[in-house]
Chains A and B, each alone.
Chain A
């Protein structure tokens, strides 16, 4: 099976999620890379928006918010590379067993990180860690015989900024969480001691995904139309984002 590789560049949170779903609906096997402009918080399908995000703080510093199609936790997207792998379950690329497939796809990311000189490990259920510190979070859904897994690789991280937006009610816990997060989260910049560009990571990851044949491509016209529709009618609406 041939996989299309696309880089959709920087988009708003709502458009990024709309594009992922549009590709899943088009059923074209795809490895996608993307970035967020403005920075954004995405929350998991089951999470409560007001429980997880300090909306005033987010608005004050122009941070987008969006609910994902996938479960998992809230993520602050800034200075990172995001990938999505979209494939038919029948492609044989990923296991039909969901827990196993997390390990498999995260394994591709780990191979990519190795090319950059980073020794990372899979931490079930859905994390990738370097020396015990999280560098990548991943989330997956399955619909209509298709698998979609998207995930992040942190290029840099500002833990204080992250936790000024992700909600922690008690001030004391907040302090604890920031220091704990500092010890729990890392980035390519921290690990390699230099600035790492999006393209460098993307190039390392492309070859690391064991997908058979790959070919650079673009979104089809139909996908763009669908993405615009999903942007307008789903991911930028209060009904979706504040559903829980």
Chain B
């Protein structure tokens, strides 16, 4: 199991700070932190839960983030930028 810590600054937006544990190419746990805004806030826990066991691949991530955060409002981040941040897990 490997710990990954990634800071991703959204262009013209806020900072996304990821702390994730990966086993090979699978996400075992991930915390999505930062100074952004997401409404309702507690959806972040569901997103973190839904990412467990997944591979950080664009199509997969896009699908999970879109589905989990459907109907949520965001400021300083977006679904695409969350995916971009999570994709950084792949390149580590």
Partner-B contacts on A (CB < 8 A)? 44-48, 51, 69-74, 98-99, 102, 125-126, 139-143, 244
**Ordered nearest first, which 10 A-B pairs have the shortest CB separation?**
A73-B35, A71-B37, A48-B33, A125-B75, A45-B41, A98-B73, A44-B35, A46-B33, A125-B76, A244-B33
Q: Check if B17 sits within 8 Å of A48, measured CB to CB.
A: yes
Contact partners of B44 in chain A: CB under 8 A: 46
Q: Check if A71 sits within 8 Å of B38, measured CB to CB.
A: yes
Q: Check if B35 sits within 8 Å of A72, measured CB to CB.
A: yes
A72 to B39, CA, bound (A): 12
Whether B88 sits at the interface, judged by CB under 8 Å, is no
Taking each of B17, B33, B76, which has the highest tally of chain A beta carbons within 10 Å of its own beta carbon?
A: B33
Whether B32 sits at the interface, judged by CB under 8 Å, is yes
The tally of residues in B whose CB lies under 8 Å from a CB in A reads 19
Smallest CB–CB gap between B68 and chain A, Å?
15
Contact partners of A70 in chain B: CB under 8 A: 37
Taking each of A71, A73, A140, which has the highest tally of chain B beta carbons within 10 Å of its own beta carbon?
A: A71
A99 to B35, CA, bound (A): 15
Q: Check if A126 sits within 8 Å of B38, measured CB to CB.
A: no
Q: Check if A47 sits within 8 Å of B37, measured CB to CB.
A: no
Contact partners of A51 in chain B: CB under 8 A: 17, 33
A126 to B39, CA, bound (A): 15
Return the CB mask of B10-36 against A: 1 if under 8 Å, else 0.
Answer: 000110010100000000000111111
Smallest CB–CB gap between A216 and chain B, Å?
31
Contact partners of A126 in chain B: CB under 8 A: 37, 75
Whether B53 sits at the interface, judged by CB under 8 Å, is no
Tell me whether A72 and B17 are in contact in the complex, defined as CB-CB below 8 angstroms, given that A98-B73, A126-B75, A244-B31 are known contacts: no
Closest chain A residue, CB of each to CB of B32: A46
Closest chain B residue, CB of each to CB of A71: B37
Known: A48-B19, A125-B76, A140-B37. 11 other contacts (CB 8 A): A46-B34, A47-B17, A47-B33, A47-B35, A48-B31, A71-B41, A71-B75, A72-B35, A99-B75, A139-B37, A244-B33
